[in-house]
Structure 1
Amino acid sequence: MENVMAEPATQCGSSAIGTPSADVLREPCRTAAAWRAADLGGPAEWRFELSPSHLDELDTALKAVRKNGIVLLRITSERFPLPSLGAELRRIARALENGRGFAVIKGLPVQRYDDTEINTLFWGMAQYLGSPVSQDSFGRKLGRIRGAAAGPELRTGGSDVAALLSPRLGGRSTVVSSAALYNELLGRDPLLAERMYRRFGFDRWGEQLPGERPYRSVPLACWCDGKLSVRYARRDIESAQRYPEVPRLEPADVALFELIDRLAAAAELRFGFDVEPGDIQLFNNYAVLHAHAQGGGIADPAADDRLRRLWLTLHNGRKLPPNFTWETAGYGGPRGRGGVTPRDVIARAN
């Protein structure tokens, strides 16, 4: 049996020193991504309000797409011009990568639009941030999901960035800085912190291609090019234990997960905010753990109240080693990283 969990720490590029432990961060991370709840001075740090001129640009771009009959997957930033808002979206993308790791775009008047128009606006704005990747083996890039009613799991997932749009319902979201959590973990138990650089099996939930393993073997942490990246989804890790070829979790692994969960629940690290219909939430999956609890009912029971979700590969995302992430082929765009490779893409290639 392959002892995946005993593999050395993740290395990164030519900056790595010769020993496997060279890229284990053994001192506190001091980048802007390592924030605590008290460090967030006010909404201006993480919230962006659409102005009347931005809304005019969105309406103009939407009309142009409809007039020219451009289907969703063919919409690019060039085909969805946003002269001033596009520059702001690119600035937000830089902040997601180099700043706090999350943002909320407010003020999209979703009540004006039908579901198709909402999807188009969401997709068009996202083109200025990154490239959408598939979320399932059918190749769907724009997901429709239901947020948890209560007690959602704080986790990471998807590609570089998870983007959520609440078209009909509000709710509440919670976010925790992965770097701040790591710093706390490092201060309490350095050996457990170092264990995050080992590989763990993550269940792929049946989305693997024929002949592939039903789980991914990847580390929880990566220190690369001056940035700390963390992935954590305890349910996926524990579910992968159903596969006999996945190494059994050791007591120290369970202790690590328990400590991560306790730290993520600490008021000093958790930051919560209310979400209104039309809000676009953006989470850098390497920089924050996040969760969203959906709000109550809607006035029109026939309307689609599900969250819209995109997984985005940032246009100028961080450097990551190949054993921390993976490339994903898809439809209507360049290859991304993370996500799920559609089975049809492989079939067509053959």
Structure 2
Amino acid sequence: MSPARIEETIQEPTDFFEPKPANKAIFHDGFKTSGQQAPIYSLVQPYENFPKEITGPTVWKAAEFRANPERWTHHFTEEEVAEINSAADRFIESGIPLTGITKDRFPLPKLSSRMQDLKKILVDGQGFFLFKGLPVTAWGLQKSATAYMGLGTHLGYFTSQNSRGHVLGHVKDLGEDPTQTDKVRIYRTNARQYFHTDASDLVGLLCMAKAMEGGESDIVSMHHVFNILQRDHPDVAKTLCEPIWYLDRKGEVSEGQKPWIRASVFYMEHDPQGTPRLYGKFDPMNVTSLARYQTGPDAQVPPVSEAQRKAMDVLEQVCLRESLHMILAPGDIQLLSNAQVFHARTAYKDYAPGTRDENGQLRPRRHLMRLWLSVPLDEGGWKLPYPDAKLKKRGGIQDILGLKSHFPVHEFGSSNQAAQFDRAAPCKIGATYRVKWWENALRRYQTEFRSTGTKTENFCHYFYEAGKGSGALVNIQCFKDEFKSGKIRYLVDWSINASPGEWQDYKAVRTKALDKWQLAIQTHEHKKCVIEKPWKADRSDAGEKKKHTRLPGIKDPYAK
């Protein structure tokens, strides 16, 4: 493919976006996530302009911090926990939805000064910190999420983490296939994550539950790594500073955008009058997942070169060798700056379902809550060579469905905890696994749904769409039962090829479909529904008269 052909397919931003107010009926704070952007190529500096050696507080070695945990760790005191607890209780009692949480609505009279000092450390200093001792087990999901997001408002602005507008992410194994790198985001699996940055200024991880083994964190100073590359591997450093890297958007693409971005791994800040710093933005999984656009007569981007493969290998090796290792316990909050810190995760293994601890309690599966936070330019953020650098909510992943910003308290369908967003909700929805059986050499599963006060037959579309991404799923059928008493029940039958992993296949597809269904109902139908705790399948209506209708897979009524 000729360079001209490649350039013709690229949308090149030429200037910075100017801030515009967003619809507060959808975005409560008046700011919308800008999403994935290509850099302003005219501001990408040539390799010759990069420093040979970086100095200052952003350059650190792991040994310095292993020997001095007080420099990067703080255990919340009883007084601090009480202050956070009080702020969380007041916010929950206010009835304001989580999307409306702000620093002013989550006051921390004593802790706020510590949070402001911490923000300076994260943005301009070592770029990482670890809080310990949040009582998440006692508080449960809703209160823990409220406290966590309340603390986050003192550091930055929440940005969307996926195309559905989720601003509270859940890092857990949902049974998705990590080898399907063009479709699957690795944080939703139990696979190893290579050293990378996230698409935000800051990232936070709150540990709710640990894995049985693995799932441990490694971080490294990006500036220390760059110094090593400049000294020992200048050819690799040069390759990483060139805008020759094509990064996969993995289907989260807005109208008018290409499914990939051309970028560098390392940049220099756009600071003509000051002292620009080296900035990094990279995830190797988004490079290696682009094969579908690199081959065949319709290829749009060049394949990964040998120089690039070498650069990724060397970068990973250096990061791993120089990294600081940490194991997060329940109640720990890890905070990182993506501007100057790479992070990674080891592969992990969860406890088998039904496993109990020494006190007879069920062991939960590994679960971390994730926040992406923007620190805008006018509040001390880095001077990035990106068109959204001046926006409040720069970075993140754009909400391509046009939905409201959303705080899912947990991945619907993947937990026995109830996600109760509003106790006075005018409607209730819920789902439960009902029964499984054999038919025509296929394993069949049935999921039962019940609802009050909301139209739910539109949800069938989401199950069909989710099913398309699973090679194991053969067929989905939706049925609606209208009882004489006025009760409505929906049944979804799933046909899956029998295999050792069939149960995980079923759960993964169901979880994705339920998540989208729940979000669409809560936003587009303008209702806050109580998500009820799953119940046992009800057989009391077996003899009641009803109208039984098979529903087709209908068009998404909310699609743009």
The higher-RCO structure (CA 8 Å, 6+ apart) is: 1
CA shift in 2, pair 1:96/1:20, >3 Å: closer
Mark the CA change 1:31 to 1:276 in structure 2 (over 3 Å): closer, same or farther.
Answer: same
Secondary structure of 2:267's partner? strand
Structure 1 match to 2:222: 178
**Superposition CA RMSD, Å:** 3.0
Aligned to 2:340: 287
User: Aligned runs of 1:48-87 on 2, under 5 Å?
Assistant: 48-87=74-113
1:259-286: CA deviation from partner (whole Å, max 9, x where unpaired): 11221121xx111012110100111112
- 1:248 corresponds to which letter in structure 2? P
Contact 2:164 2:403 in 1 (8 A): no
Query: What is the CA deviation profile of residues 36-68 of structure 1, one whole-angstrom value per residue up to 9, with x for unaligned ones?
Result: 112224111111221111111111111211221
**Alignment partners' CA distance in 2, 1:68 and 1:19:** 47
Q: Which residue does the alignment assign to 1:240?
A: 290
> Match of 1:166?
207
Is 1:319 aligned with 2:372? no
**TM-score (norm. length: structure 1):** 0.85
**Match of residue 307 from structure 1:** 368
Q: How many residues align?
A: 331
Q: After alignment, is 93-102 or 241-250 more displaced?
A: 241-250
Question: TM (normalized to structure 2)?
Answer: 0.55
Aligned position for 2:51: 26
Opposite residue 100 of structure 1, the aligned amino acid is: Q
Aligned-partner Cα distance in 1 for 2:93–2:225: 49
Seen in structure 2, the aligned counterparts of structure 1 residues 143 and 18 have a Cα distance that, compared at 3 Å, is: closer
CA displacement at 1:24 relative to structure 2 = 3.0
Alignment correspondent of 1:7: none
| 1:257 and 2:308 correspond | no
| Cα deviation, residue 192, structure 1 | 2.5
- Equivalent pairs: percent with the same residue? 26
Letter of the structure 2 residue corresponding to residue 340 of structure 1: I
What secondary structure, in the 3-state scheme, does the structure 2 residue paired with 1:105 have? strand
Structure 1 residues without counterparts, runs of 5 or longer: 5-10, 329-333
Asked if structure 2 preserves the Cα contact closer than 8 Å seen for 1:186 and 1:193, the reply is yes
Distance 1:19 1:81 in 2: 40
User: Deviation digits for residues 59-85 of structure 1, max 9, x if unmatched?
Assistant: 111121122111111010100101111
State the Cα distance separating 1:242 from its structure 2 match.
2.6
2: CA distance, partners of 1:242 / 1:130:
37
Q: Name 2:395's counterpart in structure 1.
A: 338
In the alignment, the residues of structure 2 paired with residue 236 and residue 22 of structure 1 have an alpha-carbon distance, to the nearest angstrom, of: 23
Q: Which has the larger radius of gyration?
A: 2
Residue 2 of structure 1 aligns to a residue whose secondary structure is: helix
- Given the superposition, is the C-alpha separation of residues 82 and 246 from structure 1 closer, same or farther in structure 2, using an over 3 Å criterion? same
- Determine if contact 2:159/2:397 at 8 Å carries over to the other structure: yes
1:133 positional shift: 0.4
Counterpart in 1 of 2:261? Answer: 216
Please state how far the C-alpha of 1:180 moved relative to its aligned partner.
0.9
Counterpart residue type for residue 382 of structure 2: R
User: Which digits, 9 at most, give the CA deviation of each residue in 1:88-123, with x for residues without a partner?
Assistant: 112111101111111111111112212111110111
